[in-house]
Amino acid sequence: MTDYFCDCFAGYYATSFFPKVCEICPPDHYCNNQQMYSCPTGSFSVAGQGSKYGCMCKPGNYFVNDTAFCYECPYDFFCGGGYTEMHPCPNGTYSKRGISKVSECACKPGTYLLPNGECYPCPENYYCAGSIDPAVR
């Protein structure tokens, strides 16, 4: 888009100013006031975004609305990305930082995973390493 006097629309940035040439904002960026900015850490966007709110959290990160930033999911939580909040792992499970699915929450040592996703105490005379491993003799 070429125009000698007009500003670029939100979602576009100026690649030159005389003559004015506006290009669509690329993925992983947002563009306004004729400038291009990188999405905040832990986030991404599709092309043509006009504000930082067009950047969504990557899986394993959660969105904090009042800051419009994404943060790595903490221990014992899972975070689906987008504009979602963090969710606690089910009772009896734990997780490392940055996981995105409940299925990545693991059973604690001394327990094993049932098909319904719950952790159950290890039976007598069995060894249970935790995680998603089955009970073994």
pLDDT tens, residue by residue, 106-123: 888 888 877 777 788 888
pLDDT reported for residue 11? 95
Q: What is the pLDDT of residues 4-19, one digit of tens each?
A: 567 889 999 999 888 8
The three-class DSSP label of residue 83 is coil
The number of beta carbons lying within 10 Å of the beta carbon of residue 108 is 13
pTM above threshold 0.85: no
Would the pLDDT of 135 be above 70?
no
Residue 32 lies in a domain: yes
Range of the domain at 44: 1-54
Give the pLDDT of residue 16: 85
**Tens digit of pLDDT for each residue in 51-103?**
988 999 999 999 887 777 889 999 999 999 888 889 999 888 889 999 999 88
Residue 98 lies in a domain: no
> According to the model, what pLDDT value does residue 36 have?
95
Residue 34 lies in a domain: yes
Classify residue 25: in a domain, yes or no: yes
Rg (CA), the chain: 23
The domain tally of the chain equals 1
Q: Which residues contact 76 (CB under 8 A, 6 or more apart)?
A: 88, 89, 93, 94, 95, 105
Q: Is residue 85 included in any domain, yes or no?
A: no
Tell me, yes or no, whether 18 lies in a domain. Answer: yes
